Amino acid sequence: MESKFLKDALFGGMTANGFKLGTVLSFGWFWTRVGGCCLLYRGESFDGIDCADILTVGEPEASEISPPSWVSHTAGRTYFYLVRRVNGCGQEEQSFGAVVRVRIDTEGELAKARPNAIFTLRARRVDGDRIELTWFYNPLGQESELVCFSVYYDGGTGEIDYDNAVGVIDYAGRRYYSYTSGSLAAGEYAFAVRAEDSAGTQNCCLGQIRVQLKTTVPDAVDIVGAEAI
């Protein structure tokens, strides 16, 4: 199997990848890293990782690797980094087993690990004047292990109080969860459900819903008459 790095230097000359790998010194005729190496790639999505652009090269058994200083990270963006190993003959593995997702917070710093967001948050009226919330949680690919769900609401004021949870639901695996409020007066309410890990880090995405509660019932229908037809 021909190595793409040797071919790249042979026909492309002083390419960025060839320079990082040292193959341009021999114009692509020799693979200089006889002990092998590991390569770092990046993309803004899992499917968008650019495996044609090597960010940096590390030792074959390195336990850590860092992107070069010129690689920038935009606040509020998410990046996917991929590490692949290359053997002593210049042949690169083609797996995606070493992919890590890096989130940058609004301050431009590395965001803390957090559990996944909840899915399909829904609400319905039960027992006349109560609200039941239901949602689904899937732990696949979560950054940190989930412990519980914290439920908040606005008390009808229009602003959700995130300092005081009205309910805490323990995590019990991949399934649907529910929470039922206490008795509420007629009006509009906003609820929020946040997944929370053992460190207290919450995922705030996709967890809000507004509910219009009407406690009155329609007037009864008066039957004024009946006849056979």
Structure tokens given for 33:
């890293």
Alpha-carbon Rg for the chain in angstroms: 28
Amino acid present at 100: V
Confidence of residue 10 (pLDDT cuts 50, 70, 90): low
Residues 125 and 87 in one domain: no
Reported as a single tens digit per residue, the pLDDT across 116-149 is 889 889 999 998 889 999 999 999 878 889 999 9
pTM, 2 dp = 0.58
Query: What is residue 209's predicted lDDT score, i.e. its pLDDT?
Result: 93
**pLDDT of 1 higher than 50:** no
The verdict on 81 and 139 lying in the same domain is: no
Query: Total domain count for the chain?
Result: 2
Per-residue pLDDT at 215 exceeds 80: no
Range of the structural domain that residue 68 is part of: 33-103
CA distances from 166 to 114, 151, 155, 181, 217 (A): 22, 6, 10, 8, 28
Distance CA 80, CA 122 (A): 31
**Residue 83: closest CA among 63, 103, 69, 68:** 63
Average pLDDT of the residues of the chain: 86
Mean pLDDT of 148-154: 95
pLDDT value at residue 229: 77
**Is residue 9 included in any domain, yes or no?**
no
CATH number at residue 141: 2.60.40.10
In a domain, 138, yes or no: yes
Same domain assignment for residues 91 and 129:
no
Q: State pLDDT tens for residues 25-72.
A: 776 677 778 888 999 999 998 889 998 899 999 998 888 899 999 999
